[in-house]
Amino acid sequence: MEMNLSSSVGVSSTERLITAINGASLLVCLLAAILVFALRLHHKVVYRLALYQVLASLSCATVGVFQLIFVNYAENPRVYGRVCVAIGWLLLYGLWMKLLFTTWLTLHLFCFGVLNKNLKRYEALYVVSSLLVPGVIGAVPLITGTYALDRTHTVCYIDEPNLNGSATGYYHTAVTERIVLWEVPAVVALLVCSVAMVSMVTSLTRQACYRMRYEPLADDNQFLKAMKQLLPLAAFPILFLIFMIPALIFNVYSFISVPQMALTITAFISTSLWSMTSGLTLIVHITVARCALKRKRYLVAHRAQYSKALTVF
């Protein structure tokens, strides 16, 4: 998500802050991915679904860190211009990849929690579509030549209005592409994820209340196991809803008027934190799961020793 700050309002300090957050996000996501592979958790569907989120966040954070190189754009516009096009494409690709991964995950949770259908067999489609579709969409500005440095000379994305000093057809093409290629799809995905999450929470709450009232003695092992799988994954769509709203408000408002500084900074930071919190969520989930597993093994071993001791008498 592109964010713009006028050069007259402390751009350098904001750049350093956002670069630091993106750098921290990169390290956190990298650590989370390493943990998944090191502990061989990628063989489990639940962790693979979370891993896709983290890898998409990792790509966005990496692009965010590389945006800092364009502070020297004026020194060699020809070289930096070509790099800017590549970075702009990677940024749009990363955003779309994370958007699709999040939307697919939300639909997966919805079908599992509300419709009682497991979409595990569609995982290949889930992954392939999330990798190929962003490339096709990112190719549109590449063909029309609208990837460029924004007015702050810090972010490469689809060109901002009047970047070239005149309101030309190029300006209208850039604005149209930003709306059609990102703003509208992001809003639609936001609405779909919101409805799906509310429906899922409502359905699971009703199921839990029904079991407590009418089946208090029933074996809920299967239900509890499903909850343990659903709840950690549900954090990713929730993070999407939390951090996308400020960024979308900023972008819509920027088409109408110059955004307030507070809104601008909030949107800027929320976009960067979206990646960091994805990595932290997976790390926390792995830590909690490992601690629970160790505790379970300890209790099993303790009970075995206790039973063996009783046989002596």
Q: What is the pLDDT of residues 9-25, one digit of tens each?
A: 344 677 788 888 989 99
d(CA 311, CA 97): 59
The pTM assigned to this predicted structure is 0.83
d(CA 253, CA 249): 6
Q: Which residue has the higher pLDDT, 154 or 98?
A: 98
Taking residues 216-224, what's their average pLDDT? 58
d(CA 230, CA 228): 6
d(CA 129, CA 120): 15
pLDDT averaged over the chain? 80
d(CA 252, CA 279): 28
Which range scores top for mean pLDDT: 33-37, 213-217, 273-277?
33-37
Orientation angle between helical segments 184-214 and 221-256, nearest 10 degrees: 150
Q: Which helix (H) or strand (E) holds 72?
A: none
3-class state of residue 148 by DSSP: strand
